[in-house]
Structure 1
Amino acid sequence: MSSAHAPVSNPFKQPKAVWAVAFACVISFMGIGLVDPILPALSTKLHATPSQVSLLFTSYLVVTAVAMLVTGWVSSRIGAKRTLIVGLALIVVFAALAGTSGGIGGIVGFRAGWGLGNALFIATSLAVIVASSSGGFAGAIILYETALGVGIAVGPLLGGVLGGISWRGPFYGVAVLMAIALIATITLVRPTPTPARKTGIAAPIKALRHRGLLILGLTALCYNWGFFTVLGYAPYPMELDEHQLGLVFTGWGILVAIFSVFGAPRLQARFGIARTLYANLVLFSLDILVIALFTDNRIAVICGVIVAGIFIGVNNTVTTQAVMTISPVERPIASASYGFIRFIGGGLAPFVAGELAEHFDSQHVPFYLGAAAVLLGALVLTTAHRQLGEAERAQAAEAAAAGPAAARREELEEEALAEDLGSAT
């Protein structure tokens, strides 16, 4: 069966535990975009250069990347729910501490601790959603990417509102919201047993021996270089205030959410994994190139940033599904391996962008590099063409097998509802 004819499960018919973790994911991903509207304000009020401010992304994402390597080791010893709770608690503490900081160095340091909690939460949350989902594997990934898109969409808007009051506002906002997510996780997610088999600390690195996982990880590194160049450096040439930046990145995030949930599955069903990713990466590279060519034109940059949400949404969903499908190891280990490589690219890109802009005295150069990095990612991906085909066939087979089971679940739910109504009358 081809992917074009695979049945599609409803990703939004899920148990309470899945929704609790998805809600926490929304809040977690809000933390990415929440600080975006205040980057220029931090630069001005704390007397820091753009490259110094970009270290907020670098410390956060590089620590997230490295910590990804130990998430499986921790989770296999204390269980998935406890790992989620520890990760969320760390984010609450370090986000609040970042808000109390008096200088850019302190914020950068506390963002590193925030990144540790983020790694524990992100890698484990995806595994919990996939394991607990009643809508099939593809539905679980779509739900996870929906949470990412909604969080990214709402984050900048809230960050703009809170940042308009004080640059400390977004940090305190994350702390409060993550505390709510922590309570929801404690109360709604069932305790998970400690796995019978412990994960070795070197397991994520060993998993990269698999060609498909390694190539997709390297592709994601290149893609995230372009992604976080746009996210971390585009606020400077736009020269907008906190509220205006919040609106721009909210528009961007809305497109991320829409194309994660609706666009990506339809494009993949029509064109397949390989062609969808190739076209998406090339178009994203061209979008960043437009920003590079017209960096002095505020409207062009704003439009380029918002449109980028389309390509980010498609790439996130299709690539994540492909990684989880082709990996020969357990999905938590695959998630950690993939996250390690891709977040390295995301962490380094904003800092390098700031350094390049200062060295060449040009705001165009970072975006030229970002466009080239994404195009390189498309070229790297071609070396795993066979593995992408295998992933497509595996997803089609899994969707075909899940179809009858999903239909039977719906029949049982309808029968139970009918019985309840009969009892009530």
Structure 2
Amino acid sequence: MSTPQLTRDDNAATTNSQPKAVWAVAFASVIAFMGIGLVDPILKPIGEQLHATPSQVSLLFTSYMAVTGVAMLVTGVISSRFGAKKTLLSGLAIIIVFAALAGMSGSIGEIIGFRAGWGLGNALFIATALATIVGAATGGVAKAIILYEAALGIGIATGPLLGGVLGGISWRGPFFGVSVLMAVAFIAIVVLLPETPKAAHPTSITAPFKALRHRGLLTVSITALLYNFGFFTLLAFTPFPLDMGTYAIGFIFCGWGILLALSSVFLAPKLQARFGSLPMMALSLALFAIDLAVMGMFTEHKVVLIVGVVIAGAFLGVNNTLITEAVMISAPVERSTASAAYSFVRFGGGAAAPWVAGKLGEHNMSLPFWLGAVCTAAAVAVLYIGRTALAHIDDHDPAPHSVEEAQAITVAD
């Protein structure tokens, strides 16, 4: 999400005067977001050593994203009744257990199942982390969001790199690495984060579905569902035609993550201020669709694929920030409710795309990229059709105004 530009003194205050609790949650957030791209470098080794097809290996993403999306519907219900700290710790504990179990797996089916459990823990954690940082941070909401976005960006960028380094030792290494790091984060939150109060009004499980009646939120959600076909084709399928070692794949997707983080935090706000949210969302998605189409035309050329992956980070970073803001103000409902509804719909694309891409790729390596390009172009069309319902989004301050409203919308945006 977009944040105001800070002066050097502001940044100094942000980095030097935050409570230890804030740093504990921020550290855990880095590790949680590492999980998105962590398995990229080990997809091929897992397939080779466990005798699995690309579509079977891609189910590691599908099970993870499907469970995360469905679980998003109940995270608000859980956190509003048990408090943020208990919800965070529950999510971390689940990730610790299922990441370790994935590392001990002996078949592709076991890993797919344990990744599904991992997705449940991830949903509980990331849906609560931003609210906790906002509640514990000093200096206002804007500075708290800067910290959260920085943690998100670091996690997105370093996940593939860590996966490459540990995957170079064994494909099991990245799973055990996450389990250990999450255990450290769990202890840090137990020690440093004070007990958090429960919400004054428990969230209803039907609230996200009712929120989707609002055309603006539905438009943004369907847009995200469609472009997630392109996003997760890029993330889950590209390692197969690249056919490179774990270190190389890790560095390539690290470059993608760095560009995504930089464009999300620094470039998107400037473009938004100058040209507006809707035009820049449409342009960034159109450029991403073109990027995927070029990768589809030149799939046999590894240089094209590498460049295509890295520059996609810039397009996705801008879009992620702007679409997150749009969700926050697209409907007259609590922002936590809008987040849950949006995440549930968009993860449909995130869950289906890896398996579909893997199946298509078993017949023709170019087809997944073409499908991603077509779906992303369709996302631009949906955004255009629903533009009137989103005409107001640049007239509001997207920053959350209360801890209850400050629920995170994940980057698998």
What do residues 156-197 of structure 1 show as CA deviations (whole Å, max 9, x unaligned)? 111111001001000001101111222222223232111121
* Equivalent residue runs for 1:409-424 within 5 Å: none
Structure 2: where are the runs of 5+ without partners? 402-413
Give the TM-score, by structure 1 length.
0.88
- Match of residue 336 from structure 2: 332
- Match of residue 208 from structure 1: 212
1:168 to 141, 165, 172: 172
Hey, what's the Cα distance between the residues in 2 that align with 1:332 and 1:134?
Answer: 22
- Match of residue 117 from structure 1: 121
Supply the AA of the counterpart residue of 2:286.
V
The CA deviation at 1:388 is: 3.1
1:80 lines up with 2:84 in the alignment: yes
Supply the AA of the counterpart residue of 2:214.
H
Supply the AA of the counterpart residue of 2:387.
H
1:220 to 214, 221, 224: 224
SS for the counterpart of 1:395 is coil
2:276 to 272, 277, 280: 272
- Match of residue 305 from structure 2: 301
SS for the counterpart of 1:54 is helix
The CA deviation at 1:8 is: 3.5
The CA deviation at 1:133 is: 5.0
- Match of residue 377 from structure 1: 379
1:318 lines up with 2:316 in the alignment: no
Hey, what's the Cα distance between the residues in 2 that align with 1:155 and 1:298?
Answer: 22
- Match of residue 407 from structure 1: none
* Closer, same or farther: CA 384–137 of 1 in aligned 2, 3 Å: farther
Of Structure 1 and Structure 2, the greater helix share is in: 1
Amino-acid identity (%): 58
- Match of residue 295 from structure 2: 291
- Match of residue 391 from structure 1: 393
* Equivalent residue runs for 1:128-277 within 5 Å: 128-132=132-136, 134=138, 137=141, 139-277=143-281
After superposing the two structures, state which structure 1 stretch, 93-102 or 212-221, moved more. Answer: 212-221
* Closer, same or farther: CA 344–236 of 1 in aligned 2, 3 Å: same
1:26 lines up with 2:51 in the alignment: no
The CA deviation at 1:119 is: 0.7
Query: Which has the larger Rg?
Result: 1
Supply the AA of the counterpart residue of 1:365.
L
* Closer, same or farther: CA 58–244 of 1 in aligned 2, 3 Å: same
* Equivalent residue runs for 1:35-54 within 5 Å: 35-54=39-58
* Equivalent residue runs for 1:63-102 within 5 Å: 63-102=67-106
The CA deviation at 1:261 is: 1.1
Supply the AA of the counterpart residue of 2:156.
I
- Match of residue 418 from structure 1: none
Is this contact kept in 2: 1:127–1:331, CA < 8 A?
A: no
Supply the AA of the counterpart residue of 1:27.
I
The CA deviation at 1:383 is: 3.0
Is this contact kept in 2: 1:65–1:344, CA < 8 A?
A: yes
Number of equivalences: 393
SS for the counterpart of 1:190 is coil
After superposing the two structures, state which structure 1 stretch, 194-203 or 84-93, moved more. Answer: 194-203
SS for the counterpart of 2:71 is helix
SS for the counterpart of 2:396 is helix
After superposing the two structures, state which structure 1 stretch, 241-250 or 318-327, moved more. Answer: 318-327
Is this contact kept in 2: 1:58–1:348, CA < 8 A?
A: yes
* Closer, same or farther: CA 133–328 of 1 in aligned 2, 3 Å: farther
Supply the AA of the counterpart residue of 1:282.
A
The CA deviation at 1:145 is: 3.2
SS for the counterpart of 1:165 is coil
Is this contact kept in 2: 1:141–1:317, CA < 8 A?
A: no
- Match of residue 416 from structure 1: none
Is this contact kept in 1: 2:285–2:316, CA < 8 A?
A: no
The CA deviation at 1:65 is: 0.4
Structure 1: where are the runs of 5+ without partners? 402-425
Is this contact kept in 2: 1:292–1:368, CA < 8 A?
A: yes
1:61 lines up with 2:56 in the alignment: no
The CA deviation at 1:209 is: 1.3
* Closer, same or farther: CA 236–343 of 1 in aligned 2, 3 Å: same
